[in-house]
Structure 1
């Protein structure tokens, strides 16, 4: 039976922690897109109707569910750079897990439910983004796209959370 504390923990996790973990993941993709000369970059948090934008970040109605990073083209566009971009979100999630664990271990952060949930959701996102599979819409996971890119079998650069923007 769920206690009131567990229900509150669940709500905080899904409406605050998961969007932060998603933002970190998408920031990893955008970081590497930027390094490799990406143009017209945008980070989209959530799905549904557009709520507001600031800088190059768009927030949508269901901010707690999914997200995407968009860009138009890359200056350095080859199998290796594409693979790194696909893995960028996972690299950032893994790095955030290591940093939070180190801060807790070193006593700079107090071990708490908040940080445990952050680590849990970071592992969740990390695992499912790296698991080499196709989603129900036919788009590959980041891990699958990285493998396809390395094999030179992935041309469109679209995954569940990475999209090439077309001319409007």
Structure 2
């Protein structure tokens, strides 16, 4: 039966474990790509207006499960480099899941066993999502499909014009435009509220 403890663990899963697992997945791109000399790498956490930017880390106001990795260019153009980069999220989550499971199997982390079991669950969820070749939203290939195409054909053949990993400079321009639109909408809404209050005052 689904009880209060289960509801509590669901909240922990949705608001803590899943966002952290998502960030770790994106960190897989960052760690592996740094070995191949990427230019202007960036890890973004959350969405909306920026709270702060620290070197390669960009933290946004609305933090939940939305995290992503961007870079402008890469020094190594080899097929091997791209295979490694797209395998990064798979490797980091798989290694993390195995490590935590090994600790649990040897009697460590017992006090928070349910929490760590859920952590393993989400880590392996991302492993399966990334490793099994398939097309996802709008026909975009997942990492497994990209790796498969690179190994079999030597290139991506999905015909999708959008890059899977967006350029940091391009993402920054999009963010600036989103912030301008957000501020404009906010300003219009505030003006509308002021006018409504004025109408109400006039009626009274």
Common fold: TM-score over 0.5? yes
Shift of residue 66, structure 1, vs aligned partner: 3.5
TM (normalized to structure 1)?
0.87
With over 3 angstroms needed to count, the CA separation of the structure-2 counterparts of 1:20 and 1:76, relative to structure 1, is: same
The equivalences for 1:55-66 within 5 A come to 55-66=55-66
Q: Tell me how far apart the structure 1 counterparts of residues 85 and 56 of structure 2 sit (CA, whole Å).
A: 18
User: Which residue pairs with 2:135 in the alignment?
Assistant: 134
Number of the residue aligned with 1:11? 11
Query: Where do 5+ consecutive residues of structure 2 fail to align?
Result: 174-204
Shift of 1:53: 2.9
Summarize the Cα distance change of 1:93–1:10 in structure 2 as closer, same or farther, 3 Å threshold.
Answer: same
Q: 1:116 and 1:144 mapped to 2: Cα distance? A: 28
2:52 corresponds to which residue?
Answer: 52
Equivalent position of 1:120 in the other structure: 121
Q: CA deviation at 1:72?
A: 1.0
Normalized per residue, the structure richer in helix is: 2
- Given that 2:32 and 2:84 are in contact with CA atoms closer than 8 Å, whether structure 1 keeps it comes out as yes
Structure 1 residue 164 displacement after superposition: 3.1
Alignment of 1:1-168 (within 5 A): 2-110=2-110, 112-150=113-151, 151-154=153-156, 158-159=163-164, 162-166=165-169
Native 8 Å contact 1:157 1:164 kept in 2: no
C-alpha contact (below 8 Å) 1:45/1:58 kept by paired residues: yes
Deviation of 1:157 after TM superposition, in Å, equals: 8.5
Aligned length: 166
RMSD over aligned CA atoms reads 2.2
Structure 1 Cα separation of the partners of residues 63 and 131 of structure 2 = 22
Post-superposition shift, 1:100? 0.3
**Which position in structure 1 is the counterpart of 2:192?**
none
The TM-score normalised by the length of structure 2 is 0.73
Q: 2:54 & 2:124 partners in 1: Cα distance?
A: 28
Q: Would the alpha carbon gap of residues 120 and 62 (structure 1) be closer, same or farther in structure 2, given more than 3 Å must change?
A: farther
* 5+ residue gaps, structure 1: none
List per-residue Cα deviations over 1:56-107 (Å, max 9, x = no partner): 1223344322321101111112111101100101100000011101111222
Q: Which runs of 4+ in 1 moved over 4 A?
A: none
